[in-house]
Structure 1
């Protein structure tokens, strides 16, 4: 499953073959076919791996003393993955975008990718809620959307400094948020209000 997540991230779901996964996992192709009959089953496994990674990450972040520290550590983690983002984009975001182009209807792999993204949004929203911020859902969309945007731009421009600068901006924004819902405490990153 780890190999599936890595190869699908590097090559995309459509270009990845079961043989590619077998090579990356260093197992015979027949072993992969034994567990995964179709490429879509492998893509589903890659999404499951993304979800497991997210669960491990939020578990580690949950050990930090407060929501502000947890959010800043999340952003620091994004900055630490800048070289990967420059090369391939966000693992879950790029896969969700690719799967969204399929005509699968409800319940397809595109919906599964959206569910994984929603889990991150929900966790971030909980942190803003714990900080007693107004519109925690909107703030979560802003933070996760900023990550997706910076990942896309860093990838398109092949420039890791995009991630460095934007992550620093997001950490400053998180630090600027008050805990008492004062007017202006829900400013968006980079706004002059």
Structure 2
């Protein structure tokens, strides 16, 4: 959805470093292939210290889901400074397009995580759906502010378009696909806004 690492200050604690590293390593390797030692190494934290903060990989997954939720909330908050809903939607699109090189390598940071977690019988209690729902709800509100009676459908279409292009960009390893779809989505928003 957005940058996979939380934005933190220069002096961050071990727990925050571990969460940021887990977000990155889960994104690049997947949950199943990732060990706690991989996360510790990426965070530059001794493996023995990890267990003070996280006893299991599932606890890392919970923290990573919450990390994605915070990153999305921060992104949405930053977009609120834009003058209107069309500009905010287009700002979100530009953020996605800016990450096209990473999408070509690994897909959508949260979409890939949600897809992997969906294969588990517990699906983490619907937490991935809650986070994805934050983006869908925000999108719906933007379309409603544009005066669209079909805001619910448009919100879903907006997120589905991004998730779909992330998958195709990753499958074909072609960041140009996301660039093209981003331009198309911006034109679509302009049309819906009557510009």
TM exceeding 0.5: yes
Give 1:110 deviation, angstroms: 5.8
1:45 counterpart (32, 56, 63):
63
Verify: 1:65 aligned to 2:83, yes or no. yes
Please tell me whether the aligned partners of residues 128 and 139 of structure 1 are also in contact (alpha carbons under 8 angstroms): yes
- 1:177: which partner in 2? 192
Using a 3 Å threshold, how does the CA distance of structure 1 residues 92 and 110 change in structure 2: closer, same or farther? Answer: farther
Verify: 1:141 aligned to 2:159, yes or no. no
Please tell me whether the aligned partners of residues 99 and 110 of structure 1 are also in contact (alpha carbons under 8 angstroms): no
1:13 counterpart (5, 24, 31):
31
1:22-101 equivalent positions in 2, closer than 5 A = 22-101=40-119
- 2:171: which partner in 1? 156
**Which deviations, in whole Å up to 9, do the C-alpha atoms of 1:33-52 show, x marking residues without a partner?**
11111101101111111111
- 2:146: which partner in 1? 131
Give 1:124 deviation, angstroms: 0.7
Structure 1: any 5+ residue segments left out of the alignment?
A: 180-193
Structure with the larger RCO, 1 or 2 (CA within 8 Å, 6+ apart) = 2
Separation of aligned partners in 1, 2:125 and 2:154: 24
Give 1:135 deviation, angstroms: 1.3
List structure 1 segments (4+ residues) > 3 angstroms apart after TM superposition: none
Q: What SS is found at the alignment partner of 1:65? A: coil
Verify: 1:3 aligned to 2:21, yes or no. yes
Give 1:178 deviation, angstroms: 3.5
Q: CA RMSD, aligned part only?
A: 1.3
Give 1:72 deviation, angstroms: 0.3
TM-score (norm 1): 0.89
Please tell me whether the aligned partners of residues 67 and 127 of structure 1 are also in contact (alpha carbons under 8 angstroms): yes
Q: What SS is found at the alignment partner of 2:148? A: coil
Structure 2: any 5+ residue segments left out of the alignment?
A: 1-18
